[in-house]
Amino acid sequence: MRMMKCYLANDSNGCFVMAKEVSSLEKCVRTCVSCHCLLVWHSGGHGEVPWCEHDQQSVSRGTLMKCAYLDPQVKADERHAELRKAVGWLITPLEFKIAGNVQVFTDALAACFLTASGSEKAATLMPTGTY
């Protein structure tokens, strides 16, 4: 699972510690401030600041899915898959009135995504057909 780099962690005493403040000689346990997963410290490469990564074997997938350091694209893909699963039974085209123009969607997922996206256009979508 794709996780973003962590630059802030909790040490074994529960205090915040920056990855750049940690030395390779320290043998303390560091955990994620969001999901409390164990972290692995990296010294950083040439021109890169030190950082920590999640030890994904130490925690469940469900816990990682709720972590603030989960790649946003992974969360979006997961929501997209859930939406596709939820509306997979819709097989008839849907008509929506968008700012006075009638749009027909043959892909129920596209229609539902537009209505659930929260954009300005989504506020003007009105179903006119039957489901």
Identify whether the C-beta of residue 15 lies closer than 8 Å to the C-beta of residue 79: no
> Residue 37, exposed/middle/buried by CB under 10 A (0-12, 13-18, 19+)?
buried
* pLDDT of amino acid 84: 83
- pTM: predicted TM-score of the whole model, two decimal places: 0.58
Share of the chain above pLDDT 90, in %: 34
What pLDDT is recorded for position 130?
A: 47
2-39 pLDDT, tens per residue?
A: 999 999 999 888 899 998 887 766 677 899 999 999 99
